[in-house]
Structure 1
Amino acid sequence: MDTKALLIEIATTLFQQKGYKGVGLNEILKECKITKGSLYHHFPNGKEELLIACLQSMEKAITTDIEDIFKRHQTTQEALHVMIEKLVADFEREGTIIGYTFSSMVSEMASLSEPVRYACSSLYTKIQGIYSNKLVEDGFSKEAAQSIALMMTASIEGAMMLCLTQKASDPLKTISHLLPKIIADENHTKRIVTAD
């Protein structure tokens, strides 16, 4: 692995575990076994530029994983259930949700840095786009799909944060059962209104 990729991988893990402010450059350098000069060679603007690279790396990994799950399942409800069950299994195995949640970084940095806010917004937009596209395939209008995708994103992100604070997977398990039912009910209601 090259130095830049190593920096991004290790810094991502540290940022997720301790938050942006909780991780110093010296800790990153020590974990990567590199010099400060090497870090600034790859990230001339320092720690914030490294954070943005970490968020972009997470965006690619997260959206690729979600897209794969949603392509393999026929309906949004099925894909959503499988995705959340994967998060539950990861949480129960690891005791945390490394790799999927970046909410702590968002809440800590998005109001302080426009480039960080933009990187976070981009990831949420792509996730919602995956959900929305699948909902449109399921027969929802574009407007309804976008609203439901927003609700799905907010519910999943909120449940992940609750899992971390409660040290229990129950919030994800709850939405794993409720979100597909809500979508099915919306779809059922849509069909009744359309039939009238």
Structure 2
Amino acid sequence: MASKGDLTKARLAESMLELIQTSGYSGTGLNAVIDHASAPKGSIYFHFPEGKEGLGVAAVELAAQRFETLIAEAAVAAGTPAEAARSAIEALTTIVSESDFRLGCPVSVVTLEMGAESERLRQACATAFESWISPTAAFLEASGIAAEEARSLATVVVSAIEGAVIVSRALRSTQPLAAAADVVAGLIDQRCQAAGGTR
């Protein structure tokens, strides 16, 4: 059973994650996180001695875990890699649309805002993207695509999805995500067929 301190730490990371998505990293102050998490005032520096940067890293890691789980669930439920990609994009589309286009990928937000300012945050974002690219590449490789090509294709897939989320939020439309789903699924099918793997 988690201790009270562990629960407070998790709540702070969760609040930071939510606020980054709606207000950006730079626009999220520590007082706002404390209020959002209903946490004691001294709790941030107790659990995150590095302050906002450490809390930002925790939020990025939390986002990475959640999307990694989404990818894993899509892979298990889908019959083919193309179906898995569609399923993952549909799940993201639901998140974006149901939030009235206020929520997207906090990892891309932190990368764009802080990638050149904080090496620690840049590395956390790089690790997050890698945690999505690697299992996607492994799934593609298991479908018959050569390792190097699977890695390249997985990188394109993750990049396309990230870009589609950003454009969808800007246009307040799910059409970019729907288009990405069609193109990504088609590309995966094409590569699997060329490799003689699963359609």
* TM-score computed with the length of structure 2 as normaliser: 0.89
Q: CA deviation at 1:62?
A: 1.4
Q: CA deviation at 1:85?
A: 1.5
Count residues in correspondence: 191
Is 1:155 the equivalent of 2:167? no
Q: What residue number does 2:111 align with?
A: 106
Structure-to-structure mapping, 1:177-196, within 5 angstroms: 177-191=182-196
Is 1:78 the equivalent of 2:78? no
- Aligned Cα root-mean-square deviation (Å): 1.7
Q: Work out whether residues 108 and 162 of structure 2, in 8 Å CA contact, stay in contact via their aligned partners in 1.
A: yes
Q: Relative to structure 1, is the Cα distance of residues 170 and 101 closer, same or farther in structure 2, using a 3 angstrom cutoff?
A: farther
* TM-score computed with the length of structure 1 as normaliser: 0.90
Q: What residue number does 2:95 align with?
A: 90
Match of 1:128, SS state, is helix
Residue deviations 1:16-67 (CA, integer Å, cap 9, x gap) = 1111110111212222233432211111110110000111111111111211
Q: What residue number does 2:29 align with?
A: 24
Match of 2:117, SS state, is coil
Structure-to-structure mapping, 1:22-171, within 5 angstroms: 22-96=27-101, 98=103, 100-171=105-176
Show structure 2 runs of 5+ residues with no match.
none
Show structure 1 runs of 5+ residues with no match.
192-196
Q: Which amino acid aligns with 2:36?
A: E
Q: Work out whether residues 62 and 99 of structure 1, in 8 Å CA contact, stay in contact via their aligned partners in 2.
A: no
Residue deviations 1:73-122 (CA, integer Å, cap 9, x gap) = 22110101111122222222222363644211111011111111111111
Q: Work out whether residues 132 and 146 of structure 1, in 8 Å CA contact, stay in contact via their aligned partners in 2.
A: yes
Q: Which amino acid aligns with 2:137?
A: S
Q: Work out whether residues 95 and 104 of structure 2, in 8 Å CA contact, stay in contact via their aligned partners in 1.
A: no
